[in-house]
Amino acid sequence: MDISKLSLDEKIGQMLCFAFHGTEVNEQLKVLVKDYKVGNIVHFARNINNNKQVKKLNQDIQSLANHPVFISLDQEGGMVRRVTSDITYLPGAMALASTNRKNIYEVNYHTGLDLKELGFNVNYAPVGDVNNNPLNPVINSRSYSDNPKIVSECVVQAFRGFQDALMLPTIKHFPGHGDTNVDSHLGLPIVNKSRKDLDKVELVPFVDAINNGIDGVMISHILYSQIDNNLPSSLSYEVITKLLKEDLGFKGLITTDSLTMAIWERFTIEEIVMHGVNAGNDVLVFCGKALLEDQIEIIETFKRLVKAKKISMARIDASVSKVLKLKEKYCYNQVVSKHKDNELSIELVNDSITKVKSNNLLPITKDDSVLIIFPKISLASLVDNDNNTYETLGKYLPFQEIIINENFDDYEKLMHIQAKYDKIIMATYNVKADDYQMQIYNKLDKDKVVVIALRSPYDGLILSGVKEYICTYDCTKESLKAVSSKLMTNDFTGKLPIKI
């Protein structure tokens, strides 16, 4: 594509990415892609009913455009997957890191092939954050490890898998979202670390990915106060142009995390667009409520800023040239190969289940008297699908199961019931100090309790006196099936990729 032949509207469209409502081409998509020349569209689970439907949707989106559209999604693996059936199952990052880590490339490659077949060409993954804060509310087991070397080893394999399948990967969330205790969907995290400190931990996986040829980086909404004390990373020239592009030498696609997260409430649309573009981003991503009137206002604001010379054509052309070059690579080509390698996926899930502590309560037999206590699963973060359906251990184990939630208060009954059982399996999901899970756990006889952390392996830090402790890292049906089998065989191979 010849950039000189593009109009201003077309150039602006190449630098904007919007979410949408619906599962087929509708007025919103027609206005965005056909009328306003938007060149990037992001899907969420709400847009995907099944593979046949989403493949046709993506084909129809492309047919609206004069130039190829980057169609993206978050397919990190585990709990963060937009396409959840009939493709290669991709385990979550920490689950993969708990295996021998030899097949991370292959499972990401096959996932990439399947996504490509459905018409996607950009994946907002892998997660390159080093989860060195156990209280991190949003990254946690989405990270491979708290060890930067392990994270680097894994992200390089993961991005190569996607890239070889011709899915453009964007390692995230630069310069690192691991050492935060605020979810950037809900607030503005602040990290007060020197560049020297960042070089030792946070930047290590990003540097290794860049040096190994990754084509995309996603920027976080975190204020790194010793680099830029005024603007969060996604709007910061110091972070994006000086650090990422000049110091680290990254020449690929730079995309923001969604600018409708908490940052949306702190800056005006004009400030977000002006700083976002001038900082050096190539694509500004807007998800959120995905209202067409807001999206049109963003586009019109971008135009006004250009006409007012607050954004230069040279800055725009630099990004658009990069976008078009990468579209030549990822939108016109297709790798033909075997898809849907779930045999490997299931093997990796089984290998990932980790026994951290043992009190000789396993294996469990069908003759044992066992009570299962299972929490009602809710969204851990806004990055999770809001239409997830969750299974429980009771589907896979032949024992009585009690489902608990924040309204549980019948502790006397629980004390009476637990006396009837030889063993208790208590599953936990992102335990917080003094929450209902902790209160229930404190009433149990620790000598006969097996605690299974369904997502965050840090649950074991909050619950005191845990004697038998297992981590699954993901609360998917694949993980539940795997851990149920392991409880009966006591054959655990996973190795904890963090320190607790």
Mean pLDDT by 10 residues, the chain (500 residues): 91 98 98 98 97 98 97 96 94 97 96 96 97 82 96 98 97 89 76 95 98 98 95 97 98 97 92 98 96 97 98 98 97 71 92 98 95 84 57 95 91 87 96 92 96 96 96 96 98 96
Q: Is 358 exposed, middle or buried (0-12, 13-18, 19+ CB in 10 A)?
A: middle
- Rounded to whole angstroms, the Cα distance separating 2 from 291 reads 32
Q: Of the candidates 293, 274, 294, which has an alpha carbon nearest to the alpha carbon of residue 284?
A: 274
Q: How many CB atoms lie within 10 A of CB 363?
A: 11
Q: How many CB atoms lie within 10 A of CB 389?
A: 8
Phi, psi of 128 (to 5 degrees): -100, 10
Mark whether 67 is an active-site residue: no
- Rounded to whole angstroms, the Cα distance separating 297 from 192 reads 34
- Rounded to whole angstroms, the Cα distance separating 69 from 408 reads 49
Active-site residue, selected from the candidate residues 185, 275, 282, 474 = 185
The predicted structure's pLDDT at residue 337? 60
- In order of 47, 146, 259, 296, 404, the CA distances from 293 in angstroms are 19, 42, 16, 5, 42
The predicted structure's pLDDT at residue 138? 79
The predicted structure's pLDDT at residue 135? 80
Are the C-beta atoms of residues 239 and 224 closer than 8 Å to each other? yes
Active-site residue, selected from the candidate residues 257, 282, 341, 459 = 257
- Rounded to whole angstroms, the Cα distance separating 70 from 329 reads 11
Mark whether 228 is an active-site residue: no
